Amino acid sequence: MHILNLLPQGPLPYLDVDAIQRYIHRLVSTTSHPDTFIVWEASDTYTAGRRTKPADIPDPTVAVIRMDRGGSVTYHGPGQLVIYPIIKINPPADAVKFVRATESAMIRALRTIGVETSAIAGRSGVWVKRRGDIDRKLCAIGIKFSRDTTMHGMAFNVFTDLAKFMRVIPCGLADAGVTSLAQIGEKENLPCARYTLPQAAALLLPALAEAYAQFIPPARKDGALTPLREEKYLARIEEEREKAAHLPKIGIPRLPSAQKTEQRQNTGEQTS
């Protein structure tokens, strides 16, 4: 497995990395590029998956980018580790099995640093369940298969500003909340309260690579996590942005100012 580590670039516009993802996905799907983890941090963005309902976005001023992943609406932003596994798998594609493997790998990795998490039947992601509190999602997961190759992935809250989630109904679950490693660490007096994004990536990536080995043909299995030079991929952003087909926005009324913001996001321009 190769790693394209974009964390040193700081928070990046969502659609810029989406363009890189789609470029790598096209290559991996034809086996002309190695299976790759894209590891990055987003600037403030709200994205809506295929299961998003209008009621999941009660604030009409929130600019939302609709994406072709599973799940509902969520927030991406600074302090959140985003991992896209781009993997050519043995057919047939089994999205449920892949998501369960992702959850189990992350749960095992988190247990090694003293953080107890779990999966919840019928609700994808990695959850924190504590007596006397609502269930809180630590990591959202939204995977898509195309040409027997995975794309999109997981958004893991390390020291994310959790208040940003409150402008939407995170993952469309009104009876649940969100949490972060920092919040868990502070409550339970654990070292993860001070984790950085690179530390979180170093914790999770080996566990994910091990879990995904079952989906990869033996001839392509490689236990090493090998870095890729990010400059090559960053240079393709403009080219890929022009090629990318912009998906339709979710059909929710917006104020003119929000519409203008969303148009800028969908052309890849940075917003203030």
Long-range contacts, 188-192 (Cβ 8 Å, 24+): 188/114, 188/115, 190/113, 190/114, 190/115, 191/113, 191/114, 192/113, 192/114, 192/115
Cβ atoms of 77 and 40 within 8 Å: the answer is no
Tokens of 123: 């609700």
What positions carry a catalytic annotation?
171
Please say whether the dihedral angle defined by the alpha carbons of residues 15, 53, 168 and 271, taken in this order, is positive or negative: positive
Please, what is the Cα angle at 185 between 184 and 186, to 5 degrees? Answer: 95
Q: What's the token pair of residue 251? A: 């059909």
